[in-house]
Amino acid sequence: MSEDRYLTFALGKGRLANKTLELLEEIGITCEEMKDKNSRKLIFVNEDLKLRFFLSKGPDVPTYVEYGVADIGVVGRDTIIEENRNVYEVLDLGFGKCRMCVCGPSSARELLKHHERIRVASKYPNIAKDYFYNKKHQTVDIIKLNGSVELGPLVELSDVIVDIVETGSTLRENGLEVLEEVCPLSARMIVNPVSMQMETERIRKLITDIRSRLEQKQI
């Protein structure tokens, strides 16, 4: 493929994008104009390396990658599973580690044992549905929320929630606890299947460089 073609990255705005840029810098890929924290720009270019970066909302990253407007994306595994897009997941980047869990007041523990029809609030309705229907074989009512999901059981909208737990402080401060673990999560690199074929060499090199750097960091 032509050397003039830009390789495009879609990064989920915020902490994941910052961590990704740190990692890329460690393997010699920089994008100076992205370092301006006050900038509201969304697209950044490194002309020398023929790289383009754009910042999007996390859940949109797999969409950009599936449609091929970004060759590569970095996003949490939670979003990859929830969005279920046609992308290759090629690398666990090791940061952004947390867990997807069923959480609630300790009194809700019993409700999970007896296949009762309960209400489950979540920002991740597909993950919640898959867990309860396919793994636990428990019929539940899923209620989609967009954030501050811990409110669900507190205001009695739901019995439990399916949400991300990192330090556990949001749960503790609201009198809730982890009742069951759904799956571990971390930041992943995803690639568009066509880009993988058209730009095999550049993408393979990038993956190899990042993997070696991650291995060095673990030593």
State the residues that interact with ligand PRP by CB under 6 A. 123, 147-150, 163-170
Q: Which residues of 9-42 are buried (b: 16+ CB within 10 A; e: fewer)?
A: bbbbeeebbebbbebbeebebbbeebeeeeeeee
Q: Rg of the Cα trace of the chain? A: 20
Q: Which is nearer to ligand PRP, 60 or 209 (CB)?
A: 60
**Could you tell me the smallest distance in angstroms from the CB atom of residue 108 to ligand PRP?**
17
**Could you tell me the smallest distance in angstroms from the CB atom of residue 39 to ligand PRP?**
22
What's the DSSP call for residue 57? -
**Could you tell me the smallest distance in angstroms from the CB atom of residue 81 to ligand PRP?**
15
Q: Which is nearer to ligand PRP, 107 or 169 (CB)?
A: 169
Residues across the chain = 219
Q: Which is nearer to ligand PRP, 68 or 105 (CB)?
A: 105
**Could you tell me the smallest distance in angstroms from the CB atom of residue 116 to ligand PRP?**
25
**Could you tell me the smallest distance in angstroms from the CB atom of residue 67 to ligand PRP?**
25
Rounded CA gap, 182 and 98, in Å? 11
Q: Which is nearer to ligand PRP, 10 or 164 (CB)?
A: 164
Rounded CA gap, 73 and 64, in Å? 8
Residue sitting closest to ligand PRP (CB): 147
82 contacts: CB under 8 Å, gap ≥ 6: 59, 124, 125, 126, 127
Helix (H, G, I), strand (E, B), or coil: what is residue 122?
A: strand
Q: Which is nearer to ligand PRP, 72 or 164 (CB)?
A: 164
